[in-house]
Each structure stands twice: as C-alpha cells, then as structure tokens.
Structure 1
Amino acid sequence: MRLTFPLFGTAAAISWRRTLGVGVLGALGVGAVLWLLLTGHGRLALTLMLLELFVAMATVNVRVAILAVFAYLIVLGDLRRLLIPLFGWSGLDPLLVVGSVFALVVVAGALVNREIRFDTKLAKWTLALMAIMVLQIFNPKQGGLMVGLAGAMFLIVPICWFWVGRTYATPAFMRTLLYGLVLPLALVAAAYGTYQVFFGYLPHQQRWLEMNWYQGLGSPNNPSPISLFASNTEYGKFLSIGVVLAWAAFLKGNRMAGGIALILLVAVALTGIRGPLFFSLAMMVGLWAVLSRSTVVWVLRGGLAAVVAIVGLTVGLTTATQLDIDPRARKRLERQAQEFVYAWRGQTDYSSADKHFSMMLGGYLYSLSNPFGLGIGSVTKAALKFGGRAYNTETHLGNSFVALGLPGGVLYHVIIFLIILYAFRYWIFSRSLISLAILGILGVTMASLLAGEAYAVGPLTAFCAGAIDRLYSNCIVNKIN
C-alpha cells in the first residue's frame, strides 16, 4: 500500500512502513504531551502539541502550514496571557520557540530536497551573515555561552524565515498571506487595541500587566495598547504593515481599501508610538510617488505628497488634542503631537527622533572601538535574563554593529540595501499589487532581519525579504527568456 502527498512542496511516495513509523512517532508525541500535562508542564506540553500539528500540516501542504504558523505568531502574545490561569507565567516560555523550530524544520526539509539554492547575491550574502552570527554566539564579551545561544534563538533562527520565503513564496501565495491573513488580522488587532485605549485591558491582560509591567508601557493606570501582541511596539509595527497593505490595494484600484487604510492609520496614532506613525505616512507617500514611470515625476509626486502628509498630520493632531474626547485617547494623541507638532515648532526640547538617532549613531561608533562586536546575545533580552552584558540601540542598524562587529555590521547593511533595491526593481518590472505591497512592508519595517523579539513582525519581514529574492530573480529570468 502506497500513499502519495506533497512533502515540503514536492510529491513523495510514502510506503506503509514509513506511514507506520510516522504513526508510531505521533503516538509517542501524544504520550509525551500527556506526560508533560500530568507533571505540571502545561506550556511545554502545548508547545510540543503545536509543533507536531504544524509539522504534520507541512508534510501535507507546507504553504498551508506556513499560513497557520503566521496566524499563531500574530495571536501568540495574547494566547500566552490567556494561559496564565491554567499554567502560570514564565519569562522563558517554550511557546516562543514554536515559530523558530518550525522554520528550522522546514528549511531542513528544503535542504534535504535540494530546494534551497544559493544562486543570487542576496542569498550568498545572507548565508555569509548567518555564518558571522554563528561565530558571534561564542563571543566572550557578551557574558557567557548561554547568552550567545539564547541570542541565536532571537536573531539567527528567525532569519530562517528568509529561506522559507525564498523557497516557497509565489505571487499567489503572497496574495493569500498578505491579503487573506495579515490584513484581516490587522483589522482585528486594531479593533482590539482601540478597545484597550478607551476601556482598558481585559482581566487576563490586567493580570499579566500586574506581573510584568515595564516602563515602555507607560503608566500602569493607563498602559499603552498591546492588542494581540507581546508588546506595544510590535502592535504598532503590525498595524503599520496593515496600513501599507490597504494603501497598496487602494492605489491599485480597490477604493474600499482606502477607508481601511485610514482606519488602521487612526489606530496607529492611538498607540501613542511615534515610529509606526512616521513610517506608515512615509511609505504611503512613497508608494503613491512610485506609481509613476518617470523618475522626475517620482520626486514631484513624493514632494507634493509629503507636504500634504505633514500638513494633514499637523492639523489632525492639533485638532484631535483639542477635542473633548476620552482622556486616555487624548493622552496617546498628545504623545504623538509632542513629536510631530510641538517639537517641530520648538515648543518642546524633547524629541524621540533625536534620541533614537543618537542611539543608532552610538551603535555605529561602538564598532570602531570594538571591531569584533559584543556578541549576538548582547542586543537581545538574553543578556538580561542570563546576566550578560547588554547594549541595545533600539534600531536594527545600530544593533548590527554592536552584535556583529564592523565586518558583520557592514555586511548587514549591504544585505538591507539589496533587499530594498530588489523590492524596488521587482515593482518596476512587474507593477503588480504584490510587488507594491511587499515594497511597503519592507519600507515600514526598514527590512529588519534583526527583529526576532517581534515574534510575528520579525518572521514576516524576513519571509518577505526571501520572497523578494525569489520573485525578483524569477522575474529577471522570465524577462530574459
């Protein structure tokens, strides 16, 4: 008896012996899950169960499994909070590694099936970057091997999503991922987060807040919205991805998508986080500008749109902060106005943009005095959890020099440049919705490959980077042929 189904994207004939082996492994897995539950390791049991489920799905249809894992990663933050009454809370939650382990398994399967090729500049440079990152695991300056190994889980393993995207992305699949999954969940996240702004956290989130409050959330009495995510920062980044997806669809003729983009943009403003709002508006300007086929018109359209965006933002925030609205919402908008209105007018001495630029510059300068870097764990939570030496510039560009040293930092910047360049060229060649949408995503995330602590946004960005390498390469081949 022989069964045939796609294994990691290729047809594979499965003999009854192998089927029996898979069944035995599945039974052992179920037994392990039950044992972990009975011994009080509920989170570990759920982790093992989810991994078995996602890997089993991948043996049938890897692309469906990828969609399922991304859905899981998007809701992971709130899922962990919901489980507190059942399993308690742990800062070293095994549920965090599900996406990374899945990516490792898929990449391993693709390597065995010889589906991964290193035939482009971007692929070769990314492989070289990962080699440098592996060496930085053993950098003694970060405080020990455990710091390096934990840092690898945050930074190296998520880059495996680059190879997943490069191997399995197609235009049709990207449309399903971005417009069938990410954009709808961005709307759900926006509704959830906006509810938190006006009505506060739900009971399970309040319980988590009392256990895990940190300064980045603001006042415990009026914390920043986190929606489905592990942090308010990732929530803002995910909303900005939703904004550019809806905006790209609007620019390609879907009029309803313009309203969706506006709704998501308001939700971004209500987070009180400045970066996502700035990058959302900047990419809305940029995407509208590149609709033209003339470089001169790009500049003219970009300049005009930038003026409209600045005036609209200034008037909008000034008006909104003067309205008789909920004090919690006004506080979020006033925080935005402090950066985008008052700082520009010279009415305040504080500017978070200046602070972040100084921190990023510090990362660049650090590599001059420490050319071999501080180690891959130094820019992640691993340094704090395992007593290592921490130095985080809060920007992936600055962190690349701190963690990887001068050679690794330079190589990382080359890779980011190539990703943006290929995304731009892919748009010029194809003029498709997907090319415009991916360009927008890579723009609002700055094509960060060192965002492993953003458990959904980091893998999604890396996946899109790999997808661009594949789609652009295929586009070039088709043009030549």
Structure 2
Amino acid sequence: MLLPFTLGLYGIDEPSAGTLSEPLRIMIALILASVIGGSIVQYPMIGFSILAAFLPFLGLIRRELIPSIGYQSNEPLTLIGAAVGTLLFIRIASNRWIAVKNTTIKIAIALLVVMVLQIFNPNQGGILVGLGGAMFYIGPLLWFFVGRHHGGKQTLVTLGTVLVITSVIAALIGLRQQFGEMSNVERYWMVVSKYKQFLNNDVVRVFGASLSFGEYVTLMLMGAMVAWTRFLLRKYLYAIPFVFIAGTIFLSSSRSGVVMLLAGCIISWSFLDKRPATRIPRIALGVGIGIAGLLIGLNQTRSLNLDRNAAVFVEHQVEGLTNPLGSERSTATKHAGLVEIGFTSGIRNPIGRGLGSTTIAGRRFSQGGDGEDGTFSTELDFTNIIVSTGFIGGILYMVLMGRMSWVIVKLWDIRRVSTSLEWIAIAVVTFGNWLQGGYYAPSILIWTCFGMMDKLLEQELPGVAPSKLVNRVISLLPEKFRPLGRTGLSH
C-alpha cells in the first residue's frame, strides 16, 4: 500500500494511466470505507478521527495514487464519505435509533425528503446529475444523524485537535506548492483534471492537500478557528498554529478567506462575555480594530521586498481588500450578483432545477448552466439549495441553519461548553459553505459535528427548544413536506 504513495511523492516523468488493474482502485476505496465505517461503529472517537484525518487529504491521496492506478475523473475514493454516511444512516434508521421528536431531526428529515424528490427533477439534465447532487447534499446531511448517534463531547474535542493538525500540514503543502515547486504528479493532475483556478491567468491558486483552492482555504479556516478559540480560552500554545495558518490564508490570495477569518475572530471574541447585551458593542469595537489593523498591514506589505509569486498574491489581496466595491479590482459585486440570482431563482422557478444543478455533478453530467463551470452555482449553500430544490427546500434549509446556530449559541451561553465556542467561530467562517456543492470534506465534517452538538444540547438542556418559531414555519409547508411526528415540536 505504501508503494503508490512513494511513487507519487517523489514524482515521475510520465504517470501511468493504469499500471495496476481497475479492481485495485475499487479495493482501496472499499478498504478505507470499511476501516472508517467499522471504527465509527465500534470505537467512535477513533473512527471519527480517521474520518477527520482522511477527508482533508483526499486530494493528496488521490494524486499520489496516480502513478500506480492512473487518473479517473469519477474516482471511487471521492465516494467514500457519502457512501459510509449513507450505510451508517441506514443502520441507525433500521434500528429506529432516530429521535423523531427532536426539533432538528424533524427539519432535517423534511429537507431530506425534498432533496430525494429533486434527484428526479428533469430540469437538471438527467438522473445521473441528481445522483451526483445527492453525494454533495444528501451525503453530508446523513452524517448529521451519524454524528448525533455515535459522537459526544470528548469526540468533538478530539476532532478539533485533528482539524488543527491537518490544517497545519495542508498549509505546509500549500506553501511548498506556492513558493517551491509542484511535483510532477501535481502538474499532471492539474492537466488531466482541467484545473482552472489561476490568478492573472498564469499563477496557480494552490490546492494544498485538497481537490480545489476553495476547499483548501475552507479547511484551513476551520482549523484556524479551533486554534483561535482555544487561545481565547487560555490555551496559549495554540497561538502558534493560528498565526501560521492565518498567514498562509493571507498568502493564498483568498480575499473572502481573510474577511471570514477576521469575522470569526471578532465574533467568537465577543462571545467571551457572558452578557449578551455587550456582544454588539464588542463586535463593533472588534470590527473597527480589525479594519484599521488590516488596512495598516496591507499598506505595509507594499514596501516589502517580495519575490514575483509572493508579490502577485499580496498585490491581489491589497487591491481587492482596500477597494472591495471596485469592479475592476474586486469581485465582491460579482459574488453579490450571484447571490441575488439565487434568491430570485426561487421565485422564478419554485420547483427547483434539480438537486445536482448547483454541484460539480452538473458540470460533469449535463450541458448548459449559468456559471463558468456549466452549473447554476451561486457560490453560497443556501442560495444553491434554493436553486436546486426550489422555494420549499430553500426555506427548510435556512430554518435548519437557524436552528443549528441557536443550538451552538445556547450551549455556550448556558453551559459554557468550550467546543461550542469553537463551532460558533467555525460556523461564522464557513457561512455559506455548510453544504457546498463542490467540496468533499468540509460539509461532511461540519454536519457530523453539528449532529454531535445537537445531541449534546439534548443531554445538557433537556426540554429547551425554539418550538414556536419552528412550528410556525413548518405549518406553512404543504402537508406532504412536513416532518414526521406530532404537530407540536418539542425537544
């Protein structure tokens, strides 16, 4: 098993298209899936740790196997997360271990029903597109049930530590790609996978151990927030990985990454005070300090003597962040336009375009679309869900987002559970990417931990739930789309 990785790590001049047989590709995926699934059932903390270590390195593993098993666009390795989650969900559901009276579960089940129906929506171009969409949308949601059943408080702590470690390693790989040299396998993969994420048409936006630039940055943001919140809670050694990861995010040229990093730091800092009334003033103070510090820092970088690569990335950050509304230097207005399209799509097309229409499955298996990649992606998960599943699915998903935000905040406010502060910060920096149709790792990790948080709330605060608001929203839905269970929603 080590030979394929060794060949990929040191690079080869002509990667083979299939030195070993196709069954080996499937066998590797089955072995990994069995290890992850079996470990979660028997030893949950170990199993979830393996999952959290595997998913962020899916891109690296896939690339390093190319010399031995070649490249295939529909790689079985990418199905592991969704497949294991589905099988574990079936096991949980068949044993009737799902607490259907739980508020969050009712909303999630209603959303799943809508998503399953949207697999067969003919507007997306075929059932293959719908099934591909299920991998990116239904798969992560099923992990919510898996995390809720098998996870716990200590598992959340362990997963946070794994996130920090994987983020540091991914950052090191990304810096090597950015300022060192791409390996032969990485260059080959960029060609055969038609990697299109470049800066100024010739400078590669690196991908670290992931399969895309966006996923690479999102995973680093998650690890950075764990390190930051632990630093706030007086675990001062976590300042080291935080500064390293934050610096890597800045050098990666992700403007949104820098903005979300600042937002996560400021909002999580504001939650340190037990008095909710002080949070808005603290956020205002943090925003003022953050913007001032960012502008001073950006202006200082112009005077640094940087090599060509670093200069391109830094200048990209400076131009966009100092003039966020300028159409020539910043893409903020373009992103805002896509979000607007997503909301209006729910009105123009209330039945939705189909589950896979906003995922990379739409690019692979269908023709057309509004985006550059041939899909109808609006870049944010909640507007993507509106486009894919229509008005009903979009409303349900936004209610679910609100419910999970309430769960995390309530755990921190009443019980001061340290992991809930971590997830307040993570929820902020990944906002709009909780259920992203182009990412393999973040969505599964987010919804797995959301399930654990929901279970923890039930254990810590039995009987507490925002039932009136949720009941009101669900009562507006057609009867066939309402969650299972009695009308009154209780925790």
TM-score bracket, normalised by the shorter chain, equals 0.7 to 0.9
Equivalent positions of 1:143-292 (< 5 A) are 143-179=125-161, 181-218=162-199, 221-292=202-273
SS of the residue corresponding to residue 197 of structure 2 reads: helix
| Distance in 2 separating the partners of 1:258 and 1:449 | 26
> What letter is aligned with 1:127?
I
Letter in 2 for 1:374: R
Q: Secondary structure of 1:477's match? A: coil
* Aligned position for 2:483: none
Are 1:147 and 1:388, in contact at CA under 8 Å, matched by a contact in 2?
no
- Name segments (4+ residues, structure 1) moved above 4 Å: 36-39
Q: What's the counterpart of residue 355 of structure 2?
A: 376
CA distance in 2: counterparts of 1:230 and 1:301, whole angstroms: 37
1:413 corresponds to 2:398: yes
For residues 134-192 of structure 1, the C-alpha deviation after alignment (integer angstroms, 9 at most, x for no partner) is 0001111111112112211221122111111211221111101111x111111111111
1:452 Cα deviation (Å)? 4.8
The separation in 2 between residues aligned to 1:118 and 1:443, in whole angstroms, is 28
Give structure 2 stretches of 5+ with no counterpart.
Answer: 1-17, 369-374, 466-491
Query: In the alignment, what sits opposite 2:420?
Result: 435
74, 77, 81: which is aligned to 1:95? 77
Going from structure 1 to structure 2, the CA distance change for 1:85 and 1:377 (only over 3 Å counts) comes to same
Q: In the alignment, does 2:112 pair up with 1:130?
A: yes
Shift in CA distance, 118/37, structure 1 to aligned 2, threshold 3 Å: farther
Q: Would the alpha carbon gap of residues 107 and 182 (structure 1) be closer, same or farther in structure 2, given more than 3 Å must change? A: same
C-alpha distance in 2 between matches for 1:460 and 1:54: 14
Kindly indicate whether residue 379 of structure 2 is the aligned counterpart of residue 394 of structure 1. yes
Where 1:322 maps in the other structure, the secondary structure is coil
More helix by proportion, 1 or 2? 1
* Cα distance between partner residues in 1 of 2:463 and 2:382: 34
Of 86, 110, 120, which aligns to 2:68?
Answer: 86
Task: State how far apart, in whole Å, the 1-side matches of 2:258 and 2:458 are.
Answer: 32
Q: Contact 2:358/2:437 (CA < 8 Å) preserved in 1? A: no
Among 425, 445, 459, which residue is 2:444 paired with? 459
Contact conserved, 1:356 with 1:395, CA < 8 A, in 2?
no
Match of 2:469 in 1: none
1:386-407 deviation line (CA, Å, top 9, x unaligned): 1245311111121111001011
Q: Which residue identity does 2:444 align to in structure 1?
A: P
Distance in 2 between the 1:340 and 1:75 partners?
Answer: 30
Could you report, residue by residue, the CA deviation over 1:307-332 in whole angstroms, capped at 9, with x for unpaired residues? 11111111112212331012212211
TM-score of the aligned structures, taking structure 1 as reference length: 0.87
Partners of 1:441 and 1:72 lie apart in 2 by: 19
The answer for the alignment partner of 1:385 in structure 2 is 364
Aligned equivalent of 2:311, options 320, 330, 333: 330
Alignment identity in percent?
A: 28
Per-residue deviation, residues 292-312 of structure 1 (Å, max 9, x unmatched): 122332122111111111111
What displacement does 1:232 show? 0.8
Contact 2:222 2:429 in 1 (8 A): yes
Q: Offset of 1:119 from its aligned partner?
A: 2.4
Matched ranges for 1:10-89 at <5 A: 39-89=21-71
1:210 partner SS: helix
Q: Is 1:468 aligned to residue 453 of structure 2?
A: yes
- Residues 44 and 218 of structure 1, relative CA distance in 2, 3 Å threshold: farther
Q: Which residue of 1 aligns with 2:473?
A: none
Q: Deviations over 1:194-238 (max 9, x none)?
A: 222211322221221232343323367531121110111101011
SS in 2 for 1:156: helix
Amino acid at match of 2:101: D
1:22 aligned partner: none
Distance 1:308 1:469 in 2: 34
Structure 1 residues 472 and 201, CA gap change in structure 2 (3 angstroms): same
Instruction: Tell me the matched-pair count.
Output: 442
Instruction: After superposition, give the CA deviation of every residue in 1:55-86 in whole Å (9 maximum; x if it has no partner).
Output: 34345323322221221111110111111111
Deviations 1:440-460 (A, max 9, x none): 111111174422531111101
Taking structure 1 as reference, are residues 62 and 169 closer, same or farther at Cα in structure 2, changes over 3 Å only?
closer
Inter-CA distance 124–270: structure 2 relative to 1 (3 Å threshold): same
Q: Structure 1: which 5+ runs fail to align? A: 1-35
* 1:358 paired residue among 324, 337, 345: 337
Displacement of 1:112 after TM fit? Answer: 3.5
Given the superposition, is the C-alpha separation of residues 146 and 448 from structure 1 closer, same or farther in structure 2, using an over 3 Å criterion?
Answer: same
- Using structure 2 for the length normalisation, give the TM-score: 0.85
